Amino acid sequence: MKVSLRKTSLVDYPGKVAGVLFFPGCNLRCPWCHNRELVVGGEDGLIDIEEALGFISKRKQVLGGVVLSGGEPLLFYGLPQVIRKIKSLGLAVKIDTNGTNPAALEKICSDAETRPDYIALDLKLAPSRYAELLAEVNPQSTPTVSEKLLHGAEFIKSSQIPHEYRTLALPNNFITAKDIEELAPLVDESPWYFRLFRPGNCLDPGWDAMEVPGMEEANALAHKAKELGKKGISPTGGRY
């Protein structure tokens, strides 16, 4: 298995200096995704997972944690072993997920040795629109991707693992207050960050030419979430 490694980050794990492992592959195809190579590309820039873990191990004195991101890290069958290894170094683990693989999430959370210390859940559009983002559409699929997201979000809420939610303001009002209304029930009082889409290397190159939304668009989404009684709203936050 190969991954991409960010050796040091001050913005990917709240309150910790972290290394970040990016796992290739994703079950979604968000057209604005700026990790095109990770989602559909080859192995350029990737290193063996053992090499990446070796580097993390050498740096364990300066790191507080490791972020497992992607792509979608929960699709990687060897994730439990990776988490065990990181935790055995005394480092905390954060998972960045799209929330649509709840079985894998529940599996790692059910074992103290693989239970993440922090989860960031990306909420992209109204759950009823997630089929628009699927890499492979199978109308017979049960449960549907929307049902999986609802299940994943409900599990995170009840997990007692510290977590946050992240939503992007997208060009051309691709996400609107109506999406926020549908997403709001998935969210508890944990932080919900609203950030701006940024063009460059988008999965759908057509999105690179789109006008970047302004802070007012992010603020409008955040305002809607506040109106709906959500407490942990932030229109800024760190890197997406």
Residues that bind ligand SF4 (CB under 6 A): 26, 28-30, 33, 35, 39, 70-72, 98
Contacts of residue 115, defined as CB under 8 A and 6 or more positions apart, other chains included, come to 108, 109, 161
For the chain, the first-to-last Cα distance in angstroms comes to 25
Which C-beta is closer to ligand SF4: that of 110 or that of 136? 136
Please give the residue whose beta carbon sits closest to ligand SF4 in the complex: 33
**Minimal distance in Å, beta carbon 26 to ligand SF4?**
3
Nearer to ligand SF4, 57 or 146 (CB): 146
Q: Which is nearer to ligand SF4, 204 or 216 (CB)?
A: 204
Nearer to ligand SF4, 65 or 70 (CB): 70
Is the peptide bond between 143 and the residue preceding it cis, with omega within 30 degrees of 0? Answer: yes
Strands in 163-169's sheet, in edge-to-edge order, are: 47-48, 2-13, 16-23, 65-70, 92-97, 118-122, 163-169, 192-196, 233-234
Report, in Å, the least distance between residue 154 CB and ligand SF4: 19
Six token digits for residue 144: 């549907």
Least Å from the CB of residue 121 to ligand SF4: 11
Q: What single-letter DSSP state applies at residue 134?
A: B
Residue 58 CB, nearest approach to ligand SF4 (Å): 28
131 or 228: whose CB is closer to ligand SF4?
131
Give the nearest distance from C-beta 3 to ligand SF4 in angstroms: 14
Cβ distance to ligand SF4 smaller for residue 24 or 235: 24
What's the closest the beta carbon of residue 113 comes to ligand SF4, in angstroms? 26
Residue closer to ligand SF4 (CB basis): 49 or 63: 49
Are 76 and 130 contacting, i.e. CB atoms less than 8 angstroms apart?
A: no
Cα angle 99, 104, 110; round to 5: 110
| Tokens 């559009």 found at | 125
Identify the burial level of 78 via C-beta atoms within 10 angstroms of its C-beta, where 0-12 means exposed, 13-18 middle and 19 or more buried.
Answer: exposed
Q: How far is the CB of 133 from ligand SF4 (least distance, A)?
A: 7
Distance between CA atoms of residues 22 and 6, nearest Å: 8
Collapse the DSSP code of 30 into the 3-class scheme (helix H, G, I; strand E, B; otherwise coil) and give the result. Answer: coil
